[in-house]
Amino acid sequence: MCHSREHHMSVPHCHRLGCRVYFLCVSLALAGLCSAADNELDRFPIVHGEPLCVPIRLNEQKGRFILYSLFNVTVVDEAYRDHLGPVVPTPALTANRLLGIELPVHRGPHISIGTNIPGIETPNEVVACMSMTPWQERFGVPVDGLIAFDRLAALVVRVHVDEGYVAFLKTPKESVAKKASIVKEWFLPHVSIHVSDDGFRDAIISLGDCYSVLLDQDDFRRLLRRNKIVLRDSADGRETPNIKRTRSGILDVIEVGPYKIQNVKVYEGAVTAIGLGFVRRFELDFDFPNRIVHFCPSQSYQEPERWDCSGIAIERKNNKTLVCTVIPSSVPGQSGVRIGDELTHVNDSRASELSLAKIRDLLSTSGSDVKLVFERNGVRQDIVIKLVRPDDPFPTDKNLPKILPIPD
């Protein structure tokens, strides 16, 4: 749904700030979100460039699940199929209603997070089942399932990408920020964002994806025609699990409440969503019992977007780091690197000994030279790339305030 800025200026204060939210209230907190140790049930690290993963127990088996807010039903890998109950004959419950993926749902097993958090059960206690191989290959880490937000309805979840942790709390931090009313729908957290000068959009907060901003096709094409988006090839804009991203570019500005982000990396997709690349700019508290999410700017609030500077995208299959995208105009593309080639070395390190997140970080470090070694059918090819981040196409407002959280 699109709303003009003039319309929002005539409604209550929180709407003027663009804080209207479906399913959750949004509280845009100007104060820092303190973390009291005695309020934490458990805490887990966040690795830059990887999705938010937490250790779980499914019945008595250990696993590693992504906190995945694009799904309205928790999904388990096919390896857990024997732990599932009978199929529930309820067509309204689908694994991903918004993206058109319909899966049968089963009576679910007992699932718990970590060691200090009680079982996360819902009144329906249902799960879907599908292969997690695409997630494992994309991120290069073990993934046994996707924890949807339907399983977190009784918890408070703090996400602080900048500080590198996700925490589960007993109660949210008290905030002086005002709250907006909400409409609960499908357990999908939405926040209202103002896109360029084109009005407000309801964007899903997607914690299981590392992109910055996804715009639906109609919005992307219209903003491109109006020169509000400048196309820019990005190797990491390939198709990822359940989200088809066709084109990428730079959008002039996005506003979330009083917070303005300029020169934003955007992808063309099936829905509008903000991912971890955008969320890293904030500290968030998801207060699910009260259906509120608090936003507070982090130290990364005004940092420029990170871009792959190499022209390739990679994935990991059978402990091999394989090229899955090549930009033809890039150095690897001009040197004959193809999809399916194995990346064996990055500088002096074996690629198999580095995480995909680490390799992607190295390939995004502008101003450095990187040596890449590829192999195809036993033939080795060495390439040296000077990594250069392209300049932002839109001028930056030098008077934009540097908003930082108040220390705990």
Flag whether pLDDT at 239 surpasses 80: no
CATH number for position 371: 2.30.42.10
- For residues 218 and 278, state if they share a domain: yes
- For residues 273 and 367, state if they share a domain: no
- For residues 296 and 317, state if they share a domain: no
Total domains, the chain? 2
**Within a domain: residue 394?**
no
Place of tokens 């905030």: 175
Residue-range definition of the domain harbouring residue 350? 312-386
Instruction: Judge contact between 50 and 139, C-beta under 8 A.
Output: yes
From 256, 275, 305, the end of a domain falls on: 305
Lowest mean pLDDT among 35-39, 45-49, 118-122, 285-289: 118-122
A 10 A CB-CB count for 105 gives 25
Determine the Cα–Cα distance for residues 338 and 357; give it in Å rounded to an integer.
Answer: 21
Q: How high does pLDDT run on average in the chain?
A: 80
Helices (H), 217-271: 217-225
Strands of 101-183, DSSP E? 105-107, 111-113, 126-129, 145-147, 156-160, 165-169, 182-183
From 305, 336, 356, the end of a domain falls on: 305
* Digit-coded pLDDT (tens) for 123-166: 557 888 999 999 999 999 999 999 887 777 778 889 888 889 99
* Digit-coded pLDDT (tens) for 3-61: 444 333 333 344 443 444 433 344 433 334 444 567 888 999 998 888 899 999 888 88
**Within a domain: residue 408?**
no
- For residues 316 and 300, state if they share a domain: no
Percent share of the chain, pLDDT over 70: 77
- For residues 191 and 53, state if they share a domain: yes
Token pair of 266 as six digits: 């955007």
**Within a domain: residue 395?**
no
Residue 281 CA, chain-centre distance (Å), reads: 12
- For residues 58 and 121, state if they share a domain: yes
pLDDT score, position 151: 79
Q: What single-letter DSSP state applies at residue 139? A: H
- For residues 282 and 329, state if they share a domain: no
| Dihedral of the alpha carbons of 79, 80, 82, 84, in degrees to the nearest 10 | -150
Determine the Cα–Cα distance for residues 385 and 364; give it in Å rounded to an integer.
Answer: 11
Contacts of 38 (CB under 8 A, 6+ apart): none
Flag whether pLDDT at 242 surpasses 90: no
- For residues 210 and 322, state if they share a domain: no
What H or E segment, with its residue span, contains residue 264? strand 259-269
**Within a domain: residue 183?**
yes
- For residues 332 and 355, state if they share a domain: yes
Determine the Cα–Cα distance for residues 346 and 361; give it in Å rounded to an integer.
Answer: 12
Alpha carbon separation from 84 to 100, 106, 109 (Å, rounded): 23, 6, 6
**Within a domain: residue 130?**
yes
| Dihedral of the alpha carbons of 156, 274, 368, 239, in degrees to the nearest 10 | 120
Alpha carbon separation from 43 to 57, 64, 115 (Å, rounded): 16, 14, 10
Determine the Cα–Cα distance for residues 260 and 249; give it in Å rounded to an integer.
Answer: 18
**Within a domain: residue 263?**
yes
- For residues 301 and 327, state if they share a domain: no
CATH number for position 106: 2.40.70
pLDDT score, position 241: 55
From 253, 278, 305, the end of a domain falls on: 305
Flag whether pLDDT at 99 surpasses 80: no
- For residues 244 and 347, state if they share a domain: no
Nearest to 164 by CA among 363, 306, 357, 352: 357
Nearest to 50 by CA among 138, 144, 134: 138
pTM higher than 0.75 for the full model? yes
- For residues 137 and 206, state if they share a domain: yes
**Within a domain: residue 402?**
no
**Within a domain: residue 382?**
yes
